[in-house]
Amino acid sequence: MSTAVIVNTYAYSATYVTDNILRTLEDIVRDSGLDPLKIADERLVLTRGIKAWIDSEHLETIVLEVSNPSRTELIGRWDIHVAYGWNGDDGRFWVDSDQIKAAIRKAGVWPSTCEYRIICTTKSGRPDVAGWNTTTLLSTAGFVRQSLGTTISHSGLGASASYYRKVN
């Protein structure tokens, strides 16, 4: 007689990636000179949406959009793109926080008067999640995207980061 144990490691991967996406966003907010209380206050809603859409594989990108106080002009932006290359067999997990910190130093600190919001782009047919609604992103005209590559990974489920800087 043999016994088999099956563990749903995808659920663990989704939780790990969600937690580390949020931790990365918190680091970016704090280290870029923005008020970290806002993201802390929204943590439950952010977790609920990001985790639900990773579980359903509808989440494409999490955007940290930084604007002037009237929210009419983009000051800067960070994107975290989710990749669903699930393989379930290697069990490796990692986060490259040093890469993010180096990019923040390169991008510079924003004025503390800036506003920010976190927006998720999703595939059509995504499930609705309480606390989330539709919106439009500010234009990135006049900005250039700087890709950092993969920053979070767990068994093939992961995320890559990029940021936008003004073109000189």
| Domain CATH code at residue 67 | 3.30.900.10
Token pair 């590559």 is found at 149
Q: How far apart are the first and last CA of the chain?
A: 70
1 within some domain:
no
Partners of residue 162 on adjacent β-strands: 79, 147
78 within some domain:
yes
Instruction: Give the integer Cα–Cα distance in Å for 108 and 41.
Output: 25
40 within some domain:
yes
Structure tokens, 89: 């067999």
What letter would DSSP give residue 115?
Answer: E
Contacts with 121 (C-beta within 8 Å, 6 or more apart), sequence order: 59, 60, 61, 63
Name the strand (E) or helix (H) holding 105.
helix 97-107
For residue 32, what are the domain limits?
Answer: 9-166
Name the strand (E) or helix (H) holding 78.
strand 74-84
14 within some domain:
yes
Q: What is the pTM of this model?
A: 0.86
Q: DSSP readout, 11-73?
A: HHHHHHHHHHHHHHHHHHHHHTT--HHHHHHTHHHHHHHHHHHHHTT-EEEEEEEEE-TTS-S
2 within some domain:
no
Distances (CA, A) of 15 to 22, 41, 76, 134: 11, 19, 28, 24
3 within some domain:
no
Q: How many domains are contained in the chain?
A: 1
The whole-number pLDDT of residue 157 equals: 77
Instruction: Show pLDDT as tens, one digit a residue, over the chain (168 residues).
Output: 555 444 556 667 788 889 989 999 999 999 999 999 999 999 999 999 999 999 999 999 999 999 988 878 999 999 999 988 755 445 556 677 788 888 888 888 898 889 999 999 999 999 999 999 999 999 999 999 998 877 777 666 788 889 998 887
58 within some domain:
yes
CB 38 within 8 A of CB 116: yes
